Amino acid sequence: MKAIVCGAGQVGVGIARALAREGNAVTVVDWSTSLIDNVVTELDVRGVVGHGSHPDVLERAGAAEADLLVAVTHSDETNMVACQVAHSLFNTPMRIARVRAQNYLDPAWGDLFSTGNLPVDVVISPELEVGRAILQRVETPGAFNTAVFSGGRVQLLGLRLDENSPVAGSTTEQLMELFPDLRVAVVGVQREQTLFIPKRTDPLLAGDDVYVVTESAHVKRVLDIFGRSAEKIRRVVVIGAGNIGVYVARALERAGGIKVRLVEASKEHAEAAAERLKKTVVLHGDGLDARLMREAGVPDAELVVCVTNDDKVNMLSAVMAKREGAKRALSLINERAFESLREPLGIDVLIDPRATTVSIILQHIRRGRITGLQSLGGGLAEALEGIALSTSPLVGKSLNELELPDGVALGAVVRGDRVLLACDEGRIRENDRVLLFCNTALIPKVEHLFRVSLEYF
């Protein structure tokens, strides 16, 4: 596949890396010479200096031969115009744009993004996607990562094992012997810098990040057994009243039963948030002020969500919140180098908006009928859910006899309201939703398992 990525920022580089790693021909466009120099030095991609919405620049980037254009510059307008130019002048088949301004996304203007108007096939809103990711963490407070598949019937959880975990030192085989009715599949383990799919006889060690798949109805029990149960969240403090902070606060208001307080350093933004929120108490002040934290109720909060536009403020606010007595702290980060500081600083969850956005974009460009995707382990692995069509090699195979490539594990099979795990008896049928966990290098093989029949077209 030939792809053009407009924007050499963190998201653009993340998408280019993922596409190039799989052998696609990628061209990155950006007006900054230094950013283009950096990306072509770091990745096996071609670089073009110029504005991504200019016809001559897209022509030099090869838009006439491209299968895909992904526009993720810092300007919504540039992204939308790039898609328009790619469609009108070069007939680029697939066009994806990042749009951050919420005014464009108002349901009242639902016809804006259509072939007859602005021909954008997929609109990505990082703030909304990150907000949804944060809300998933609110619902499963004991997990450092959560992804929902099959309309909420199945969840993938990332669980950190510590020395006090009841299952530390046990193998998957022993786990199932101790809890024979436990509806869970252990699909991946990240140990230090290595992510692998464990065999039934491999022990789960303290310090491991373990990825498991379970039915949503069994999440609480899985968290209990892995020693990651947490108090029900009734009090939340949000630091930062940007789009993400306000989105999270509004969603928590609608959920009911949760008291929300929001802290914002900008008086203007605090006043705007107070007008948009009905039940949330909005405080104007510095999220690094210990006195204000106590006034906001941080010592009694089950969760503090730090989502300002400054990584360092977010991480320091999270550390201070834990010191003040908050049960858990979540921090938004954009700089990948900070990920290694999560455990030493005692921050429970880090949310990387780049990884969230990349996961959503990759879902739409994967070959085959992919209906869900989550990038995991800093890009080392992916969880993919796809529909098994009649031509899929999966159809007709018994769950416990699947011959999957090394580095690929079965998470679950969903058929209507029924969820099947690897330990269950049964065969994969046509149109089943199949959730697989795999090392990133094996993505092409997984796509082959979900290959589309000619009849589909």
Supply the CATH number for residue 99's domain.
Answer: 3.40.50.720
DSSP state of 105: G
> What is the spatial distance between Cα 226 and Cα 144, in angstroms, rounded to a whole number?
13
Q: Are 230 and 243 in contact (CB under 8 A)?
A: no
Whether 283 maps to a domain, the answer reads: yes
> CB under 8 Å to 323, separation ≥6 — which residues?
none
Whether 166 maps to a domain, the answer reads: no
Whether 183 maps to a domain, the answer reads: no
Quote the number of domains for the chain: 2
Token pair, residue 401, equals 């006899």
CA-wise closest residue to 384 among 327, 429, 318, 450: 450
> What is the spatial distance between Cα 87 and Cα 271, in angstroms, rounded to a whole number?
41
Whether 320 maps to a domain, the answer reads: yes
Whether 306 maps to a domain, the answer reads: yes
Give, for 364, the enclosing helix (H) or strand (E): helix 353-365
For residue 256, the tally of other CB atoms under 10 A from its CB is: 7
Each residue's pLDDT, cut to its tens digit, for the chain (457 residues) gives 899 999 998 889 988 988 888 788 999 999 999 999 999 999 999 999 999 999 999 999 999 999 999 999 999 999 999 999 999 999 999 999 999 887 888 777 878 887 778 899 889 887 787 888 888 777 787 888 888 898 889 999 999 888 888 889 999 889 888 888 888 999 999 988 789 999 989 999 998 999 999 998 899 899 988 988 777 788 999 999 988 899 899 888 887 788 999 999 999 999 999 999 999 999 999 989 999 999 999 999 999 999 998 999 999 999 999 999 999 899 998 877 787 777 788 888 888 877 777 777 777 776 657 888 888 887 788 899 988 888 888 888 898 778 888 889 999 999 988 999 888 888 999 999 999 999 888 888 888 887 654 333 3
Whether 264 maps to a domain, the answer reads: yes
Residue where a domain stops, chosen among 288, 311, 326: 326
Whether 89 maps to a domain, the answer reads: yes
What letter represents residue 254's amino acid?
A: R
CA-wise closest residue to 162 among 115, 198, 209: 209
Q: Domain span at residue 94? A: 2-124
Whether 305 maps to a domain, the answer reads: yes
Residue where a domain stops, chosen among 300, 326, 352: 326
CA-wise closest residue to 262 among 233, 285, 231: 285
Q: Rounding to the nearest 10 degrees, give the CA dihedral for residues 59, 65, 68, 71.
A: 0
Residue where a domain stops, chosen among 326, 356, 373: 326
> CB under 8 Å to 3, separation ≥6 — which residues?
19, 24, 25, 26, 27, 66, 67, 68, 69, 70, 365
